[in-house]
Amino acid sequence: MLFPGTFDPFTRGHRDIARRASRLCDKLVIAVMENANKNPMFTPDERVDLIERSIAGEDLQNVEVMHWDGLLVELYRQLGCCACVRGIRSESDFRYEAELALANRLLYPDYDAILLPCRDDLSLISSSIVKEVGYYGGDISKMVPAEIIDTVNAKLMKGRQQ
Ligand code: COA
């Protein structure tokens, strides 16, 4: 199963989805991807590293992290995936995911998606909110995994000084 996203940066909400999805399949590939409408702050290598460190302490033997700069369905096809998993925080997420799934199915008819509802206490987190709060020196500890707080803060501080 594939868990694609921009992950700029990975959040506690993303980790919760990864944890739960890993129990639903033999192998979960978390793929750091590019969204044409976004201009990520973290490089692809940094995003992969943040995810690997976030899940290192978990018992997630069947999870792998990679970067992919191409069409989602192409990676899906190459890996022989059974589905993509995505977290749903709200009704608007559902609409967006339904559109994404439809577009991907037009490109690759075997494409399928599994939408997991987010945990209530994590449902208002987004990568943008993490960046906004961290940029102004706010506490992001409830939003991102403890293992990556310092790295995320350091990058946001550097961005502020430039
Ligand atoms: N917890 C916290 N935040 C969550 C979340 C969760 N469980 N689930 C989603 N989010 C947030 C993310 O943090 C992100 O927030 P942001 O907008 O502030 O950055 C937002 O919801 C959704 O982003 P993300 O899950 O990272 O994916 P995306 O929508 O940016 O990207 C891709 C989707 C990468 C899968 C899509 O752009 C893609 O497929 N790209 C490859 C090219 C391609 O094939 N395009 C055609 C697609 S039809």
Euclidean distance between CA atoms 124 and 122, whole angstroms: 6
Which residue of 15, 65, 126, 132 sits with most ligand 1 atoms within 8 Å of its CB, as the best mutation to test the pocket? Answer: 126
- Domains in the chain, ordered, with CATH? 2-161 (3.40.50.620)
Give the pLDDT confidence score for residue 157 in this predicted structure: 86
* Prediction pTM value: 0.95
Helix (H, G, I), strand (E, B) or coil at 46: helix
Expressed in angstroms, the distance from the first to the final Cα of the chain is 39
The residue among 45, 22, 2, 20 whose CA lies nearest residue 122 is 20
- For position 124, what pLDDT does the model report? 85
Residue 8 Cα: closest atom of ligand 1: 19
Q: Cβ(124)–Cβ(92) under 8 Å? A: no
Over the chain (162 residues), the average pLDDT of each successive run of 10 is: 98 97 97 95 98 93 96 98 96 95 98 95 92 94 97 90 77
- Closest ligand 1 atom to Cα of 13: 1
Report the interhelical angle of 127-135 vs 149-161 (nearest 10°). Answer: 60
The pLDDT of residue 85 is 98
Q: How far is CA 84 from CA 1, 29, 64, in A?
A: 6, 9, 14
What pLDDT, in 10s, does the model give residues 62-89? Answer: 999 999 999 999 999 999 999 999 999 9
| Predicted local distance difference test score (pLDDT) of residue 139 | 96
User: What are the pocket residues of ligand 1 if the criterion is a CB atom closer than 6 Å to any ligand atom?
Assistant: 4-8, 11, 13-14, 17, 33-35, 38, 71-72, 87, 89, 100, 103-104, 118, 122, 125-128
Closest ligand 1 atom number to CA of residue 103: 48
**Tokens 């995003």 correspond to what residue?**
47
Catalytic annotation on 38? yes
Please list, in sequence order, all residues whose beta carbon lies within 8 angstroms of the beta carbon of residue 144, skipping any fewer than 6 positions away. Answer: 9, 10, 11, 12, 54, 130, 152
Q: What's the gap in Å between 104 CA and the centre of ligand 1?
A: 14
Torsion angles phi and psi, residue 7, rounded to 5: 50, 55
14 carries an active-site annotation: yes
